[in-house]
Structures are given as structure tokens and as C-alpha cells.
Structure 1
Amino acid sequence: MEASRTQGKRWVVSSIDETLDATVQMVRKANRRIAIFSPDLEPDVYNNERFLEAVKHLTLGKPFARIRVLIANPAHVVRNGNPFVQLARRLSACIEFRNADEEYRDHREAFLIADETALIYRVDASIWEGIADTNEPAVAHRYLGMFDEIWNASRVEAEVRELRV
């Protein structure tokens, strides 16, 4: 007999608004850690005031909160400006950005992992269709492992350093 899911919620996201709602929900429920992999910090999500407020609440309200962000195209983010990057400049003890190493820049997916249990995953960052799940530690752990591998191979690039992030 299959064990029933007594905790958590899984749903499909298929639009900008649904992705934003899921992202804000995950950040609001997080207690310590957020890991974000994004090609260019999708402005419709990461520039949104609701997301930024959730990040402020997490980083200012929870001791030891940490947000790590990997981006594949930091020049695009810097060129276009980004309120999340500006917020990170003020909260640099809690939020860290890295430019994905050349070897990993062709990854097409985008994902957010919260507290090693919750995640939002889109197989192709250029479309908004994906899965959100508030309690899927095995899957979250798998993608966090990939994130950590890329993180450890990556460094802060000049574009990001200029912003003191």
C-alpha cells in the first residue's frame, strides 16, 4: 500500500503569476535556507515586491538564514538592474550570488529549493511550466546536490563584484 502524503502540497505551475505565487509561498515558509538557480533572475519573479518582502522577512527575522543564488548570465542581470541584487547588497551577510561556471551555463532549468525539503522546478527556464512541492525532501536533496556542485565550481564574477554582492 502506498503511503499517503499527510504533509505538504504538490501542484503544477503554468504561468508567471503561478510561479511567482509558489516562489513567494516557499520563501515565506522557509526557516533557514534558500537556493536559487536561474539563468537571469527572471524579473517577473525576482523583481516582484512580494518576493522581495518575503526575502526581507526571512533574512531579518530568522537567525542564520542564508540565500544562495546561482545565475548563468550575470551581465544581463547587471545591465538591466535588479531590485533583488540591490537588496542583497544591503543584506550581504545573508544573501550571496555566484555566476555559474562556464561548464554549467548551458543548464536550461530554473529552480528554487527551500530548507532542503520544498522546491519549485521548471525543466526549461524559458517557459513557466513546472512543479512546486512543499514537502519533497528526496527530490529537493537531488537538486540541492546539483546546486552545490555548481556552487562549488563557481565564483563571484566581476559583474557581481561591482555590485558588492
Structure 2
Amino acid sequence: MSADDPDHSDAAPELPAIEFLSPGRFLVDNPPTTQNPPDQWQPAPFVLRETMAIQRFECLDDARRHALALLGQAHRSLSLYSPDLEPPLYNHSSIQQACVRFLLAHPRNRLRVLLEDTSRAVKQGHRLLGLSRRLSSNMQIRKRHPEYPAHTCAFLVADDCGAMVRPEPDQMIGYALYNDPGRTRQLQREFDTAWDHSLSDPDLRSFLL
């Protein structure tokens, strides 16, 4: 066929239209792209040096909230008397962060921890043990002298007016004080006397090395 043939054309033949039917919508269940953030404790809604009423609690969650509130609002000193650093109450990132903020807020701030027994914390590990190694000039952990009378309660003292007290150390039942200088000074004197007779435990030193 010659190029002058009127039936000759370079255009491609036209194809018939194709009808497309959508099968509908599908939901794709993709996994989340980010993990949930770690659980953060919330402090109790009471103010150190202002809240007058005694705050009683009867469960671990409330004890955690009061401990976090006192740790987070202290400005000068913290004194903790505990059987063994009680991991359910004190071995948590929220507690650790509150202690770090307190210790770094002022060079004279001091956190002292006095324990009946250090073996559990040393064997299992504890956030506050690691913190005492990092900030050893402001934080100390010691063991009660075996010949010195043991306290009948567990307590945390914040500055000169706040405290959390658990009369039975093996139970999460007690009360928190946010503005009671009289009772706080009494607890602080008891702590200071026991601290003056306390020991630097060899197991604790080996953990910190």
C-alpha cells in the first residue's frame, strides 16, 4: 500500500471503553506506629506548707501519689526511712525524676535514705541506688545499725513541715501531712539520731562501685 493511499493512517485503532466496577472499601488494620508512653504517676493534689488537714490513705496508689507530691514539692531536704526501699512504692521513673529535679534544684539540697535491709535492693536493682551513685554528693543511702532500736513505722519527711507516715511498714495504710511542723520535727529528730548511728553497708558499696 502506498503512502498516497487515502485509507492509510498512522493513528492507532481506537479500543472499546472498559467499564470498571469498584469492589468497595476495605479497612486495613495496621499496627500503631508508636508505642504508648510509659505509665506516669500523678502527685496528690495537696500543697506543701498550705494544706492543713491530715490526708489518710489505705492503698498503694494513694501512697504513691502522696510520696510523689512530697518529693516534688520539697525545697531543702528529704529523709526517707524504709524497710528495704520498697520497690512497689519507690522504684519507678516518676519517683526517680522527682528526686533528680530536687537534687539538681540547689547544690545544698540533700536526700538521705536509711534502710533496715539493703539486700533486696542490691540483688534486684533499684532506681534510687543508681541515682545515689550519680549524685553521691547530695544523696546518701545507709543501713540502720543493728544495735540501734528500729523504728516502728516507715516515713518520708519533706523539709520542715511535710511527711508521709505508715505505722505498719508492711502495709500501704497511713497518712500524709503537708503543713505540720511539730510532727515533722519529731520525725526528723528520730531520723537524724538513727542516721548518726547508721552504717555504710558493704553490699551497698560494692553495688555502687
Q: Which amino acid aligns with 1:71?
A: L
C-alpha RMSD of the superposition: 1.6
Residue in 2 aligned with 1:109?
A: 153
SS of the aligned residue for 1:50 comes to helix
Report the AA paired with residue 36 of structure 1. L
Q: How far is the alpha carbon of 1:48 from its aligned partner? A: 1.2
Cα drift, residue 44 of structure 1: 1.1
Residue by residue over 1:93-138, the C-alpha shift from the partner in whole angstroms, topping out at 9 and shown as x without a partner, is 1110110111346434110000021000011110001010111110
Question: Which residue, out of 180, 185, 188, partners 1:141?
Answer: 185
Tell whether 2:70 aligns with 1:26. yes
Equivalent residue runs for 1:4-153 within 5 Å: 7-9=50-52, 10-104=54-148, 106-153=150-197
Q: How far did 1:86 drift?
A: 0.7
The normalised TM-score by structure 1 is: 0.91
Identity value in percent: 28
Residues 104 and 92 (structure 1 numbering): CA distance in 2 closer, same or farther, change over 3 Å?
same
User: Kindly tell me: are residues 145 and 31 of structure 1, through their superposed partners in 2, closer, same or farther at Cα, counting changes over 3 Å?
Assistant: same
Q: CA deviation at 1:7?
A: 2.6
Aligned to 1:159: 203
Q: Which SS does the other structure have where 2:137 is aligned?
A: coil
**Deviation beyond 4 Å, 4+ runs, structure 1:** none
User: Normalising by structure 2, what TM-score?
Assistant: 0.73
Q: Is the 8 A contact 1:117 1:134 kept in 2?
A: yes
Q: How many residues align?
A: 160
Structure 1 or 2: more helix by fraction:
1
- Which structure has more relative contact order (CA 8 Å, sep 6+)? It is 1
Q: 1:62: Cα distance to partner? A: 2.5
Structure 1 Cα separation of the partners of residues 81 and 147 of structure 2 = 15
What is the CA–CA distance in structure 2 between the aligned matches of 1:108 and 1:123, rounded to whole Å? 7
- Greater C-alpha radius of gyration: 2
5+ residue gaps, structure 1: 1-5
Q: Is the strand fraction higher in 1 or 2?
A: 1
* Structure 1 Cα separation of the partners of residues 186 and 105 of structure 2: 28
Contact 2:59-2:173 at 8 Å conserved across structures:
yes
Q: Any idea what the Cα deviations from partners look like across 1:73-99, whole Å, max 9, x if unmatched?
A: 011221121111111111111110110
Distance 1:35 1:7 in 2: 20
